[in-house]
Amino acid sequence: MEPKKIEMPVLNVRMVDIDKVVANDYNPNKVAPPEMQLLKHSIEEDGYTQPIVTYYDKEHDQYIVIDGFHRYRCAKEYFHLKEIPIVTIDKDLENRIASTIRHNRARGTHQIIDMSHIVLELTERGWTDRQISKHLGMELDEIIRLKQITGLKEMFANHVFSKSWEEFDEKARKST
């Protein structure tokens, strides 16, 4: 059996006027504000490492986003870019919808144990909780939970604990 030919639209990245790019009206993917801020930060730190996947609508002379809507939003709303990197695929509407869903679902999720090992690695390399929070887009309490999973006391060596708990002396309480 001969292997299926795989297309490579990624080899045809080009810059287009951002005003010619529009969102599709069927993407169910929503990004919460913290993740949107993380995407913005990621683009600030690393640049655009992935083009926006589009379909070219000849009738309206515009590119409809199939994947990368939030990267498109960052370009438009935060960075005010005049042009953005795109690739195009030529599919009918039903297959564009399927492609959008595949792109969304194929991203997967981060596994808790694996993330706890990453937090451990960064901590061992001298990153503070605040650095991990900023660069990985995590809340401080999430970092603490991931550190707890590893069970290593070294993870908490530089952690500043809340002073909300006080030592309670049972004998003193009984004498009052």
Residue 92 sits in a domain of what CATH number?
Answer: 3.90.1530.10
How many Å apart are CA 143 and CA 35, to the nearest integer? 16
Residues 101 and 21 in one domain: yes
In the structure, what pLDDT confidence band is assigned to residue 176 with cuts at 50, 70 and 90? very low
The model's confidence at residue 10, banded by pLDDT at 50, 70 and 90, is very high
**Contact partners, residue 104, CB within 8 Å, separation at least 6:** 27, 28, 29, 67
What is the rounded average pLDDT of the residues 149-173?
Answer: 57
Q: Are residues 38 and 15 in the same domain?
A: yes
Judge if 30 and 102 occupy the same domain: yes
Of the pLDDT bands very low, low, confident and very high (cuts 50, 70, 90), residue 127 is confident
Q: What is the pLDDT of residue 157?
A: 54
Query: For residue 156, is pLDDT > 80?
Result: no
Share of the chain above pLDDT 90, in %: 46
Domain count, the chain: 2
Q: 153 pLDDT exceeds 80? A: no
Q: What is the dihedral sign for C-alpha 58, 70, 75, 110?
A: negative
Average pLDDT over residues 96-111: 81
**CA distances for 37 relative to 101, 102, 132, angstroms:** 23, 24, 15
Same domain for 144 and 92: no
Q: Do 125 and 56 have their domain in common? A: no
Q: What is the pTM of this model?
A: 0.72
Answer whether residue 154 shows pLDDT above 60: no
pLDDT level of residue 13 (50, 70, 90 thresholds)? very high
Question: With 90 as the cut, is the pLDDT of residue 31 above it?
Answer: no
> Are 62 and 124 found together in one domain?
no
Average pLDDT over residues 136-160: 73
Is 19 found in the same domain as 52? yes
Q: Which domain holds residue 46?
A: 9-106
141 and 102 in a single domain? The answer is no
